[in-house]
C-alpha cells in the first residue's frame, strides 16, 4: 500500500475538517446506550438472543437506508474481522476495546465518512456514537438524538418511567448519554497546571480520561473530558454543562499558550523544533515518545512556530503510529521492537510527504 493510500485509509473523513477551535479541541463525541425490551443484556444473552438483537437492528437499519447518515453505511459483523482489523477500528475510535475483544456476537454499523458508528452487542445492545471534528458537541448530540429517534421507530427500548433508559451498567441508567470532548492541552501540561485543573473538573460531575477512554493512558497531552452523571438530568442539561466547562478549559489553555510565548519564547521554540527534528530523523521511536513529540509539533504549528506542516498531521499520525495501523501498513505482525522501528520510518515518510506536498 502506498503512503498516500495508507493516509487516506487511516484518516476518517470527519477528521479532515478542522472544526471550531480545532487548535485545542480534536473532536466532539456523543454516545447513547440503548437496550431492546424483552431481551437480556448482552452479558447474559444466549447466542440465539444475541443474534436476534443483530437481526432486529439490521432490519431497522435497512428500513431507514434512505436517511443521509445510513445511505452509504454498512453493517460489519465482528466475527468476519481478524484481530488486527478489529484493533485498527479501535485505534480509529470507531469501536470500543470491549466490542473488539469480548463481544461474542457483536457488529457495528459504520457510515461512509465514519462519523456515525453504531455498536451492536457491546455492553449494551446498542451504542450509538457520533463524532465531529473540533468543538461541535451540540451538533454531535443533535445527530445522535435524531438517529436514536429513527431507530426507535422500529425497535422497542427497555425503559422505566422512574429510572429512564435501562442499561447494563448502573452508571449509565437514565439518559444513557455519554458526551465527551478530546482536548489537546500541551501548554497546561508544560506549565504544570493540570494537577490543579483536573480535580476541579471532577467536582462538577465530569471525568477526565486518556485517549481511548476509561482505563486508558493520556498520551500526547490528549485528554477526554466527559459527563459522569446520566440520571436526574435532561440530555440538553448534560450537554450544556460539558460545553460550559470545556469552554473554560479552552480559555485556560489559550492563556497558558500566550504566557509561554511571552515568558520563554526561545525555550518554547527550541522545544517544538527539537521534537520536529527528532521525529524527522529518528530511527527508533516508541509510542509514548512519538505522541509527546507529535504534541510538541502540533503546538508549534498552532502557534505559528513551525511552518509548512498541516495541523492535521497530529490527527493522522496519532492513528497511523498505533500498533494496529503499523502492522497493517507493514502487511505483517510485528513485535514491539519492530513496531518502534516501523513507527520511526512511518513518521519520517509522513513528514517528508508533507514537505513534498507543500513544494
Any known ligand binding at 220? no
Q: Which of 266, 263, 241 is nearest to 179 (CA)?
A: 241
Could you tell me which residues come within 8 angstroms of residue 81 by beta carbon, excluding any fewer than 6 positions away? Answer: 89
30 is known to lie in a ligand binding site: yes
- Is residue 341 a contact partner of residue 48, using CB atoms and an 8 Å limit? no
Report whether 48 belongs to an annotated binding site.
Answer: no
Q: Is 209 part of any known ligand binding site?
A: yes
Three-state SS for 71? coil
Residues 219, 213: Cα–Cα separation, whole Å: 12
27 a known binding residue? yes
Between the alpha carbon of residue 238 and those of residues 54, 65, 224, 229, 347, the distances in Å are 30, 30, 16, 8, 39
DSSP 254-313: HHHHHHHHHH-HHHHHHHHHHHHHHHHH-S---HHHHHHHHHHHHHHHHTTSS-SS-THH
Say whether 213 counts as a known binding-site residue.
Answer: yes
According to the annotation, is 156 in a ligand binding site? no
Q: Any binding-site annotation on 212?
A: yes
311 is known to lie in a ligand binding site: no
38 is in an annotated binding site: no
Of 65, 30, 58, nearest in space to 144 by CA: 30
181 marked as part of a ligand binding site: yes
Q: Check if the beta carbon of residue 206 is closer than 8 Å to that of residue 181.
A: no
Q: Which three cell numbers stand for residue 13?
A: 473523513
Find out whether 339 is annotated in a ligand binding site. Answer: no
Annotated ligand binding at 108? The verdict is: no
The gap between the terminal CA atoms of the chain, to the nearest Å, is: 23
Contact 91, 319 (CB under 8 A): yes
Q: Is 263 marked within a binding site?
A: no
The answer to the question of whether 127 is labelled as a binding residue is yes
* Distance, CA of 141 to CA of 150 (rounded, Å): 14
Residue 250: phi and psi, rounded to 5, are -60, -45
Q: Which residues participate in the annotated binding site for ATP?
A: 27-31, 93, 127, 178-182, 209-214
Annotated binding-site positions: 27-31, 93, 127, 178-182, 209-214
Amino acid at each position: 500500500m502506498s503512503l498516500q493510500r495508507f493516509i487516506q485509509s487511516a484518516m476518517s473523513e470527519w477528521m479532515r475538517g478542522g472544526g471550531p477551535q480545532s487548535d485545542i479541541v480534536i473532536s466532539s463525541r456523543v454516545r447513547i446506550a440503548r437496550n431492546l425490551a424483552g431481551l437480556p443484556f448482552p452479558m447474559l444473552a444466549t447466542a440465539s438472543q444475541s443474534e436476534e438483537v443483530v437481526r432486529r437492528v439490521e432490519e431497522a437499519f435497512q428500513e431507514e437506508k434512505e436517511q443521509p447518515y445510513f445511505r452509504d453505511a454498512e453493517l460489519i459483523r465482528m466475527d468476519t474481522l481478524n484481530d488486527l482489523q478489529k484493533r485498527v477500528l479501535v485505534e480509529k475510535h470507531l469501536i470500543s476495546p470491549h466490542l473488539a475483544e469480548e463481544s461474542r456476537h457483536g457488529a457495528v454499523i459504520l457510515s461512509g465518512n465514519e462519523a456515525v458508528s453504531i455498536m451492536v452487542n457491546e455492553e449494551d445492545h446498542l451504542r450509538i456514537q457520533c463524532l465531529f471534528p473540533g468543538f461541535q458537541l451540540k451538533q454531535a448530540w443533535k445527530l445522535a438524538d435524531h438517529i436514536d429517534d429513527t431507530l426507535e421507530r422500529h425497535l422497542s427500548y427497555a425503559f422505566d418511567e422512574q429510572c429512564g433508559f435501562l442499561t447494563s451498567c448502573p452508571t449509565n441508567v437514565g439518559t444513557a448519554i455519554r458526551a465527551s470532548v478530546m482536548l489537546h492541552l500541551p501548554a497546561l501540561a508544560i506549565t504544570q497546571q493540570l494537577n490543579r485543573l483536573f480535580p476541579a473538573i471532577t467536582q462538577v460531575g465530569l471525568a477526565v480520561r486518556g485517549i481511548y477512554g476509561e482505563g486508558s493512558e493520556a498520551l500526547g497531552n490528549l485528554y477526554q473530558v466527559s459527563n459522569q452523571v446520566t440520571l436526574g438530568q435532561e440530555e440538553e442539561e448534560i450537554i450544556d454543562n460539558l460545553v460550559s466547562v470545556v469552554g473554560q478549559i479552552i480559555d485556560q489553555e489559550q492563556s497558558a499558550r500566550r504566557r509561554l510565548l511571552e515568558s520563554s519564547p526561545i525555550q518554547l521554540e527550541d522545544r517544538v523544533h527539537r521534537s520536529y527534528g527528532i521525529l524527522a530523523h529518528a530511527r527508533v521511536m516508541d509510542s509514548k515518545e512519538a505522541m509527546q513529540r507529535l504534541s510538541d509539533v502540533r503546538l508549534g504549528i498552532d502557534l505559528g512556530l513551525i511552518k509548512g506542516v498541516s495541523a492535521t498531521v497530529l490527527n493522522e499520525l496519532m492513528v497511523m503510529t498505533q500498533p494496529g495501523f503499523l502492522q497493517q501498513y507493514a502487511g505483517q505482525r510485528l513485535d514491539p521492537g519492530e513496531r518502534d522501528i516501523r513507527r520511526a520510518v512511518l513518521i519520517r515518510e509522513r513528514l517528508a510527504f508533507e514537505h513534498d506536498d507543500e513544494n
